[in-house]
Each structure stands twice: as C-alpha cells, then as structure tokens.
Structure 1
Amino acid sequence: MKAVSFGALGLGLLGLSAEVLAAPCSSYYISEVTVVSAVDTEAGRVQTFVGFGASREEAEKNALGSCSHIQLDLQTCIDSDRLLARNAPSDEPLGSLHMKYAKAVKRITGCD
C-alpha cells in the first residue's frame, strides 16, 4: 500500500515580494521531488515535495528545501525523482505538473 504525503507547498514562499505576487500564474515554475523509501519496513512509502518559484532555480530550491528540512538529507532529495516545469498548460512534455498544481500555485502565490 502506498502512502503519499505532500511536503510543505508554501515553504520558502513567505518572503515573496509584491511584484512577484502580481505575476501571471503561467510565469511560475513548479518543481516536484518524489522520494520512494528504500527501507524494508517502509516498502512502498512515497513522499512528494513540491516547490513553486518565479524561476526554475527558485522552484527547485524550494522543493529540495522542503524535502531536506522536513525529513531527509539533501543528497537523498537530489538523488530522487524530480520534475520541473513552467505552470503553463501549453508547456510539454511536463504539462501534467500544471494540471496537478495549477490551483495550488494560484492559491499560495496569489498570481493572476
């Protein structure tokens, strides 16, 4: 049985400036880190950590930050499955990130 837990979506977003908050939602980037436990007693345990940002680097930093600060060491987070895409439905091939997190990006960032 897989248990999915979502990391702190808004970690690192509290310091966003007013100019960034007024940005269009499609200008934000979404980064997703998925960690599958290798420990036998937790086989099948999946954790997903998500970060948003005005740049690719910021989104990646926020996702890796929430992953490493909540439970895991940074190297484990870096070595895990990661996806990064812009929050725009037209961006392929990772448009699925937009579909999964578009509402969360808007709610958390206040974007237009």
Structure 2
Amino acid sequence: MKRGVLTTIISILGLFAACPEVWAAQCSLYYISEINLVSTADTEAGHVQTYVGFGLSKEEAEKNALGWCSRIRFDLETCLNSDRITSPNAASNGSDSSLHSKYMKAVKRVTNCD
C-alpha cells in the first residue's frame, strides 16, 4: 500500500519538475486535491489508496488528482465517486487546513514555491 502511494506522489513530482512557469508562484496560491478510495476488489480490509494533485487553481488540482487516480488503477467514475477534498495551500484556510498540514512541505518541494 505504501509503495503505491509513494509511486503516485513521485509521479506527481515529475509533473511539476517539467513546468518551470510554476516555480515562481507563492506556495499559498496552490490548491491541493486529495482522493481517498477504499478498494472493494482487495481482500485486505481497510486498504485505502490516496492520490494527490497540486495546481494553481482548484480545477487544475482536481484534474491532476483525478488523472492519477484513473490512470493508475481505477476508472474515472470510481475516482469521481470517491472521498475527495480540495482546498487552498494556506494555513488560514478557514476551519479546515488539514490538507495544508499534510502536504505543505511536499507542495514547496515539488513546486519550488516561495
């Protein structure tokens, strides 16, 4: 399970390494989208897979996360009907800054944001 999540995150890192126009943005301008789904095909109870996408807009972040989810193992409908959340990469994001807390270092490392 950890290997699959690591592979997903490494793949996302490669996406942003190829986009130099992304490097100059402020970290708080990024959105983070996370997809968590429980595989019903697995015999292992509680097997959760997580797919993460970053982007300069909410739509871009969701598109990146959905792209990885559907490309790697599942069809798009499964990904769309999964447990999804998208929020800005800002600690002051109202009542829920959990994604910022989980991925703030990854966003900075992947995007080279300020």
TM-score (norm 2): 0.86
The structure whose residues are more often helix, as a share, is 2
SS at match of 1:33: strand
Q: Paired residue for 2:16, among 9, 13, 17? A: 13
Return the match for 1:45 from 37, 44, 47. 47
Higher mean C-alpha displacement, 34-43 vs 90-99: 34-43
Q: Distance in 2 between matches of 1:57 and 1:15?
A: 20
Question: Residue 13 of structure 1 aligns to a residue in which SS?
Answer: helix
CA 14–68 in structure 1, closer or farther in 2 if over 3 Å, else same: farther
Unaligned runs of 5+ in 2: none
Amino acid across the alignment from 1:102:
M
Q: Percent identity?
A: 55
Deviation beyond 6 Å, 4+ runs, structure 1 = none
Given that 1:28 and 1:53 are in contact with CA atoms closer than 8 Å, whether structure 2 keeps it comes out as yes
Structure 2 residue 18 is matched with structure 1 residue 22: no
Aligned counterpart for 1:98 among listed residues 92, 97, 100: 100
Residue pair 2:35, 2:50 contacting (<8 A) in 1 also: yes
The number of residues matched between the two structures is 109
> TM-score when scaled to structure 1?
0.87
